[in-house]
Chain A
Amino acid sequence: MSGARFAASFAALGALLLRHRLAGLGALVLLVVAALAAAAPLLPLPNPDLTDLANRLQRPGAPGHPLGTDHLGRDLLARLVWGTRLSLAVGVFASLIAALAGSCIGIAAGFFGGRTDNLLMRGIDMLMAFPYILLALAIVAALGPGLLNALYAVAIVNIPFFARSVRGATAAIAHREFVDAARLAGMRNWRIIGGEILPNVAPVITIAMSTTIGWMILETAGLSFLGLGSQPPQADLGSMLGEGRNLLINAPHVSVVPGAMIFVVVVSINLLGDGVRDWLDPRLRAGQLSRPAAVTRIERADAGAAHRPDGALLQVRGLRTRFVSAGARTQYAVNGVDLTVDAGQCLGLIGESGSGKSVTALSLLGLAPSPPAVIGGGRVYLAGEDLLAADFERLRAIRGRRVAYIFQNPMAALHPLMTVGAQLTEAIRCHRRMPRQAALDEALGLLRQVRMPGAAARARQYPHELSGGMRQRVGIALALANAPELVIADEPTTALDVTVQAQILQLLAQLRRERNLALIFVTHDFAVLSQLCDRVAVMYAGRIVESGPTHDILARPAHPYTAGLIRCAPRLGGGRRPAAIPGLPPAADRLPRGCAFAPRCARRREACEAGKVASTRLSAARRVRCLYPLEAA
């Protein structure tokens, strides 16, 4: 299975390389064509407009005319080079004009908003209401035929495309905090547009240009082909094609030569444009669009070693998870975590962001996203069964049925297009076959259990119609849908207001009592944790540094980090300034050799930084990973 995934990631890499190679090829071809076109006056070519009726319609390879001559005996090679020069120039200038005008309109509309936006964009809408070729024809008809007028027509027709993409990008940036900051720094509107907005929308403009310039050359050629662009005897690719059209049977080379050139130019521009877009648009880079696999990749280095699971509901031994991505250093997120949760027990997993607490929670059921996550070792026993050895179908049967998750952001965890009732019914019927109506009744029962006001009416609503607190109640109902033995709650109250947080905490405490539920509560806040959890495990740099009964650890922390974490958060009614822990947590890609907390620790001695620090038993219920623990227990 991991072999297939390996092959898939190689295929993705191959596709990326190939695309970049194609972009390179496009750039090369374009460069050669552009160089030839630019050098046209220097090349030893005959006059492209010189008619020579005696030598009309010469085949390619005729003496003095490598590509032959057209119906007036003009040298096709010379006309091709000069025509390409003209077509390229027109395409580039039309693109520049459209980009300039469109970007100005787009930035003004997006930045100023309101009436300005309305006025400008409705104007753009009117431009877009006409089929573009009709509009171009109308513009040329009004201005009169001629290459310059065709250029204007093509540029005007393409303004809406630029205006709309640039407006979208600008509107997304205009309300960002750094724009407010620039205003507070005394910058005026035009300076903000030039200094803050433009650099951030420039990639959008470049992407739009790279994808439209090929089109513009085609459109100009189209107008010339219809006789509305360049006027005889001036050659551009479109008019050459038009002149050759009548001779398609007798002298196909007259139209094939400019046609091939249009093809080569447009294809190479589009290939290059794709490359530019990939390079500038971070979302398309390096396989980020690829969906994570259904199970975290598992490459256990300790596959042979077996632990003996005891009677605990959940037992985690030596769990290791790392993040591996090409071109970046490996991030070691979880580095040997041991946890035990008994039935009906609540374990608090506390740590700062980057401590590995969420990755630990996700790794238990193979939910850490792969790529880039890789579980590198350890055992996760659920009632004696090793979940990391289980196949996907087995895991799927356990996920949501015996072990369920509650996520931090219920808006992101709920399906935006399904009603609350439908989502609950789906979760129930996914694990237990039952008629729809029975499942719906059960869903309503669940909503009542999580104290959802007006449960029956709420079941028919969509997530966006609920408040944050109600959404999290739905998230909890979803987790409880199949009466799991263990619920893993990842910061379930962090996104909520304090009064709503109190409601949700109270609800979780009640449900735990009623259902004898085991709970792993992931949080960064000791105060929240102490409301709910009997035991706590403190995580730092991917390891559990201290564990034990909550009240015991709060009263007498043994690890200096735990003590710092308790002291550094201000407490209501505490009336004191918080005591900060100096420094920053270590980066997960360069963890220190010894104790990860040593660089920030006041009690650090040489031995701390010399090598790994083992976890030692302090008392029957407490363990600490410190050589010089604070006086405790």
Chain B
Amino acid sequence: MTAAIEARNLSKTFGGERRWFGRARPPVCAVREVSFRVAAGETLGIVGESGCGKTTLARMLAGLLPPSGGRISVDGKEPRAGAGPWGGLVQYVFQDPLGALNPRKTIRQIMHAPLRHLLGMDAPAREARVAELFDAVNLHLAFLDRYPHEFSGGQAQRIGIARALAANPRIVVLDEPVSALDVSVQAQVLNLLADLRRAYHLTYLLISHDLAVVEAVSDRVAVLYCGAIVELADAAEVFARARHPYTRLLADSAPVPGRPPAAAAPGELPDAPTRGCAFAARCSRADAACRQRAPEPVYTRKENYVRCFRPLETPR
């Protein structure tokens, strides 16, 4: 079976190139050797703290940013080098719903753009398709002649989702799709996304810092730390039976009503990755080996792995 989307040793380094004058800027490794396969119809959640490379990874997967190393294939095909976005195959839903809509265009112009440029549809066909899409995301057609600033965050995010679906994508990258929305509206959008996934047979890559959102919506979850996947596991188990100490730290830090506040672990994301395991400095289980070499993935089940020399064994 070919995966809907597959990443192999995907890396991205910023900086490092020589400037015209002066020394080279020190390279910053945003994403390091990320590999995963996502089956058609599956939702892969990607969690991590700010600065862990979530958005860089998402932008590479959507073709908005060329990778420095590694490969991405969609439906078993690789894009031409430097070809930019994948036509309509992979679409993107942005974190800031209003920032993703051009303030000087009407919603109609915004909705027609992918239909016109990607599918080459004529005006009547575009109108019909937009009506169909707005129906799918529960928006009123009267909104089409308004400008983005007239909408609330939740409505704007529905428009963003409708636009992402316009070009019949196979894969949708959801970059923190609900974090800018109000709590009561978050659930509406999450449920809408779940319904759309079934209706349009979509594959989702859901990027979020909110563990509860990721756990509730995903089939599998990848935990990102300093640009590398430290654990990839089924959503039902990843936090309940964490194997990587960092995953356990995340799960324990998340506030849960009725549970007393966690004894907070010290430390924060390091500025620059060190030799060996990037988490070693904050890890209570780290030994000399952890500080010497970076751990390789240890496969726990067919596609799932943990990148740790001394994973937690006991289920909680």
> Chain A: residues with CB nearer than 8 A to chain B?
118, 176-178, 180-187, 191, 195-196, 199-200, 352-354, 453, 467-470, 497-503, 505-506, 509, 524-528, 530-532, 551, 554, 564-566, 568-582, 584-585
Looking at A503, A565, A581, which has the most chain B CB atoms within 10 Å of its CB?
A: A503
Whether A196 contacts B102 by the Cβ 8 Å rule is yes
Q: List 12 A-B contacts (CB under 8 A).
A: A177-B100, A180-B100, A184-B164, A186-B113, A352-B183, A498-B209, A502-B253, A530-B255, A554-B258, A570-B187, A574-B212, A575-B216
Query: Known interface pairs A178-B101, A183-B85, A186-B85. Does A569 touch B255 (Cβ–Cβ under 8 Å)?
Result: no
Instruction: List 18 extra interface pairs beyond A178-B100, A499-B265, CB under 8 A.
Output: A177-B95, A178-B99, A178-B101, A181-B100, A196-B102, A498-B49, A499-B264, A499-B268, A505-B261, A525-B255, A527-B255, A528-B255, A568-B184, A569-B183, A569-B186, A575-B216, A577-B190, A584-B154
Q: Are A498 and B250 in contact (CB under 8 A)?
A: yes
Assess A177 versus B96: contact at CB under 8 Å? Given A499-B253, A569-B183, A578-B216: yes
**B67 interface residue (CB < 8 Å to A):** no
| Residue B66 CB within 8 A of the other chain | no
B contact residues around A469 at 8 Å (CB): 268
Interface of A is mostly: helix
Please tell me if the beta carbons of B102 and A577 are within 8 angstroms of each other in the complex.
Answer: no
Name the residue among A177, A532, A575 with the largest chain B CB count within 10 angstroms: A177
- Count residues of B near A (Cβ-Cβ below 8 Å): 74
B264 and A573 form a contact (CB under 8 A): no
- The answer, yes or no, to whether B117 is at the interface (CB within 8 Å) is yes
Closest 8 CB pairs of A and B: A186-B117, A580-B187, A578-B187, A502-B253, A185-B114, A186-B118, A497-B49, A570-B216
Q: Indicate if the CB atoms of A578 and B190 lie closer than 8 Å.
A: yes
List B residues 96-133 near A (Cβ within 8 Å).
Answer: 96, 99-105, 113-114, 117-118
Rounded to whole Å, the gap between the CB of B308 and the closest CB of chain A is 17
Give Cα A470 to B96, complex, Å.
Answer: 26
Q: Which of A199, A200, A499 contacts B249 (CB 8 A)?
A: A499
B215 interfacial contact with A, CB 8 Å: yes
Does B274 make an interface contact (CB < 8 A)? no
- Report the minimal beta-carbon distance from B233 to chain A, rounded to whole angstroms: 15
- Looking at B186, B194, B260, which has the most chain A CB atoms within 10 Å of its CB? B186
| Contact status A183-B114, CB under 8 Å | no
Name the residue on A nearest B271 (C-beta).
Answer: A467
Q: Of all chain B residues, which has the CB nearest A202?
A: B104
B82 located at the interface, meaning its Cβ lies under 8 Å from any Cβ of chain A in the complex: no
Q: Is the CB of A565 within 8 A of B183?
A: yes
Residues from chain B with Cβ under 8 Å of A181 in the complex:
92, 94, 100-102, 160, 163
Partner of B99, one of A177, A183, A187: A177
A186 touches B92 (CB 8 A): no
- Inter-chain CA distance A571–B210, complex, in Å, is 10
B312 interfacial contact with A, CB 8 Å: no
Cβ proximity bits B27-70 to A, threshold 8 Å, 1 near / 0 not: 00000000000000000000001100000000100111000000
Q: Pick the contact of A497: B50, B92, B100 (CB < 8 A).
A: B50
- Among A186, A467, A505, A526, which residue has its beta carbon within 8 angstroms of that of B88? A186
**Is B141 on the interface with A (CB-CB < 8 A)?**
no
Residues of the A chain whose Cβ atoms lie less than 8 Å from the Cβ of B134: none
Which residues of B are found within 8 Å of A564, using beta-carbon distances? 184
Q: Knowing A524-B182, A584-B152 touch, does A571 contact B94 (C-beta < 8 A)?
A: no
Residue of A nearest to B188 (CB): A580
Q: Is the CB of B104 within 8 A of A199?
A: yes
Most buried by B among A502, A531, A532, A554: A502
Q: Does B203 contact A (CB under 8 A)?
A: no
Closest to B246 in A: A499
Are the CB atoms of B261 and A180 closer together than 8 Å? Answer: no
Q: How long is the Cα–Cα vector from A187 to B113 in the complex, in angstroms?
A: 8
Q: What is the chain B residue whose CB lies nearest that of A467?
A: B268
Bound-complex Cα distance A191 to B49 (A) = 36
Q: Given A200-B103, A571-B257, is A183 in contact with B183 using a C-beta cutoff of 8 Å? A: no
- Which residue of B49, B50, B164, B268 has the most chain A CB atoms within 10 A of its CB atom? B268
A468–B101 Cα gap in the complex (Å)?
29
Considering residues B91, B152, B257, B265, which has the most beta carbons from chain A within 10 angstroms of its beta carbon? B257
